[in-house]
Structure 1
Amino acid sequence: MRRLLLTLATTTLVVAIASCTPDDGRVVAPSGDAAALSSARLEPVTAQSRVRAVPSDQWDAMVRAGMVREECPVQDRDQLRRVDLNFTDFDGQDHRGHLVVNADTAESVRHVFDQLYERAFPIARMVGVEEFDGDVGASLAANNTSAYNCRRSDQINAPFGESPHANGRAVDINPVQNPWVDLRCDCWTPSADNKERTPGAGKIVADDAVVRLFEAQGWVWQNIDVPDYMHFDTGYPSEPPPPVRQES
């Protein structure tokens, strides 16, 4: 069934792209919010996720955004991988997105998100934080699911060397549905609208399917002393996950 849906989604995507293509063959660039998602939304939805090297142009954008700096634990592109993933949005439409993670974490992330896709767990969007100029606040406000980010000094929650996000071993999922308490302002971020842990589309609650999938791979949910419902990591200080368990 998922493969049939993928075929239909790919056909729909090709038609949609064709409708935005002038007679001279140029593809009209999206504007506004769509522009920030163009690199993910214009990729065809396929049957297979994949792990690959971070493209050089994406790495350059990450460096320009300040996500790779002298104090960051990641200094070389080979330390990271890009995991290309299919996901279903809140309208039931399939898309192609990606997460940038540590090379030692890529297969674990791929396994979990393949399972989430099979369960049609809704995800709003999934692009690298360089699309938001490295600003984690902007990424959270846009309800962007993301992973690697050596955050700015005024946005960090842990020393750079120990930080799960700075090491590419943490994922934040649907921040709007799964906010956290930012101690810098003692406020729910990106908003308090979904602070109550009641089941709902895209929300993560204790012992639900999302938590169980991550925990089966050795990850920890909201590994911090304040509510952080969006956040999973492999441990603090940051460390690699155990080998992937295929049976989960």
Structure 2
Amino acid sequence: MLKRLLAALLLCMPVVPAHAATPAAHIIEPGDTLWAIARRYHLEVDELQQWNGFTSDTVLRPDGAVRLSPAEQTWPDWSTWSETITAAEANGDPTKACPVPVLSLRRVWVKYLDFNGVVHDGSLIVNRSIVPATKRAFALLYQWRFPIMVMEPVSRNMPELTDRTVLTSGYECRTVAGTTKWSQHAYGLAIDVNPRQNPMIKGDYLDPPHSEPWIPRAPYRTGMIHGSGAELAFTTNGFSWGGRWQSLKDYMHFSPNNL
């Protein structure tokens, strides 16, 4: 009986044909196991462990990426630090009237994994009150191998970038679109993660533009955030997620005050 059950389960599991091109990474979905991923791509479990720096205790997290070929670099240890910034660094124009003083802001540096499987040091500016929570959230994203398209400094991390709407970032001295009300970003109390893959959707309005392929949320694709997936890196550290809002969906957006 047990043998028949195991045989039936094996028949039900999708396997990538041997002649099919193997993608660079597999994006983890709920229920995935390293054994099932290895079988799907005709690989060995110990190969996946070696290429990804996994151990026998590693727990696969939905939205994370599993490399399917050897990495060009060893997996660097997590590191993070924060630093003060100047008004010019924060706003470009030191005389610009913004709702928080620059002394209340900090630049936070974190390691992150990009869409090509390369690790970078990236930064974002946030209110100093959420610096510890921000560090903890990005530490989990890094531990879970969640890919981030790009963070500052763009000149080093993606010098060919021309569309800055795809940046994972925090502070920005701006109002809510279409209003005169300050955005939570203007207080340093909001973080947007992979905006292109996690757009804000309100009726027919889509931000950033050209994010139509990511409106359907059922697929698990590189950089997308799902409930009980990458969302948990932030929501377990005191943030709320715009992907759970009812009046609109802002899948990129995390803030400690649910605004």
TM-score by length of 2: 0.61
Q: AA paired with 1:186?
A: Y
Deviations 1:199-227 (A, max 9, x none): 2221011222x212211112111075211
Q: Give the C-alpha shift of residue 157 in structure 1.
A: 5.9
Residue 208 (structure 2) pairs with residue 189 (structure 1): yes
- Whether 1:84 aligns to 2:98 is no
Task: Specify the code of the residue in structure 1 equivalent to 2:239.
Answer: W
Letter in 1 for 2:186: A
| Paired AA for residue 83 in structure 2 | R
Provide Cα deviations, 1:110-151, integer angstroms capped at 9, x if missing partner.
11001111111000111279xxxxxxxx532xx210000011
Q: Which has the larger radius of gyration?
A: 2
Whole-angstrom distance in 2 between the partners of 1:67 and 1:220: 31
**Displacement of 1:193 after TM fit?**
1.5
The AA in structure 1 aligned to 2:181 is P
Distance 1:106 1:156, change over 3 A: farther
Runs (5+) with no aligned partner, structure 1: 11-44, 130-137, 238-248
Q: How many residues align?
A: 182
1:111 counterpart residue number: 136
Q: Who is 2:82 aligned against?
A: 51
The whole-number CA distance in structure 2 between the counterparts of 1:63 and 1:156 is 20
Superposition deviation, residue 50 in structure 1: 0.8
**Among 60, 63, 66, which residue is 2:88 paired with?**
60
Superimposed CA distance per residue, residues 44-100 of structure 1 (whole angstroms, 9 cap, x where no aligned partner): x7742112212x3xx414332x59732x21123x10011101100111011110010
Aligned partner of 1:215 in structure 2 is: 235
Alignment of 1:170-185 (within 5 A): 170-181=190-201
| Consecutive unaligned residues in structure 2, runs of 5 or more | 1-52, 55-69, 155-162
Match of 1:166 in 2: 186
Identity of aligned residues (%): 28
Q: Report the TM-score, using the length of structure 1 for normalisation.
A: 0.63
Which runs of 4 or more aligned residues in structure 1 lie more than 3 Å from their structure 2 counterparts after TM superposition?
5-10, 153-158
C-alpha change, 1:218 and 1:154, in structure 2 (3 Å) is closer
Find the counterpart in structure 1 of residue 221 from structure 2.
Answer: 200
